[in-house]
Amino acid sequence: MKKLIAVLLLAGASMSAVAQEQENAISVVGQSNVSAVPDLFQFSLYVEEKGPVVAKLNSEVSDKTSKLVNFLLKQGVKEKDIQSLHVQLYPWYEHSDKGSEQKGFVLARQIRVSLRELNLYDKVLDGVLKLGATRIDGFQHNVENQQDLYLSALELAVKNAELRAEKLAASLGAKVGKVLSINEASSYRPSPVMLESRMMMKDASGSMAGEMNINAQVQVKFELIQ
């Protein structure tokens, strides 16, 4: 019985110490953001052919794709900035008063392009249309090293959390001690600046791309020294 009482007293003392430690703590949220000027202009162009024979469609699409890729390379676009693996094949129907009738197939290839020379976008868009690109969409400005910028913002968010904790503690006549815990409250999510259409790009000719804000947030618990 005495051993049981001793264990209960020890447990109670431990819980009291934990409660005391939790009471002598301060939790804050640190925030920061880093701005960067976009250095990439990205878009998707498509090559589509329709007809009854898939093999013929594949040959035509491959030929146009080859011409488009060669044109892009001549404009200084790097091979790593051209992705042309996405291909779709689906039935081609024509509708009439008698209903829908399958006439063949549509074969489409998407080519995703990242242009680093932003002043060349107009010339590049005109060129790919003349070479047989069926349509162009997905216009956006982006920053290449977003993850590095996010890590910088995360570091600044930690410093912001420390500054907030010090301000709060000072108002209570206390000081901030060691870090008890820290959690990343945000996550790295690329956020390109989307553009509506090619017409929008033409209207924006000669204008600045603006800046992108990359935000970071952390939750930090500090020891509070009275």
Confidence of residue 29 (pLDDT cuts 50, 70, 90): very high
CATH code at 24-37+146-225 = 3.30.110.170
The tens digit of pLDDT for each residue in 212-226 reads: 888 999 999 999 998
CA–CA separation, 172 and 167 (whole Å): 9
Parallel/antiparallel/unpaired status of strands 99-115 and 175-184: unpaired
- Residue written as tokens 């992705």? 83
Give the three-state DSSP class for 117: coil
pTM over 0.75: no
Two tokens at 46? 């498509």
Cα dihedral 150→155→161→164 (10° resolution): -100
CATH code at 42-138 = 3.30.70.2970
Q: Domain limits of the chain?
A: 24-37+146-225, 42-138
CA–CA separation, 78 and 74 (whole Å): 9
Quick check: 38 pLDDT over 90? no
The tens digit of pLDDT for each residue in 146-166 reads: 889 999 999 999 999 999 999
Highest mean pLDDT among 122-131, 139-148, 186-195, 201-210: 122-131
Two tokens at 185? 């409250």
At 196 the pLDDT is: 45
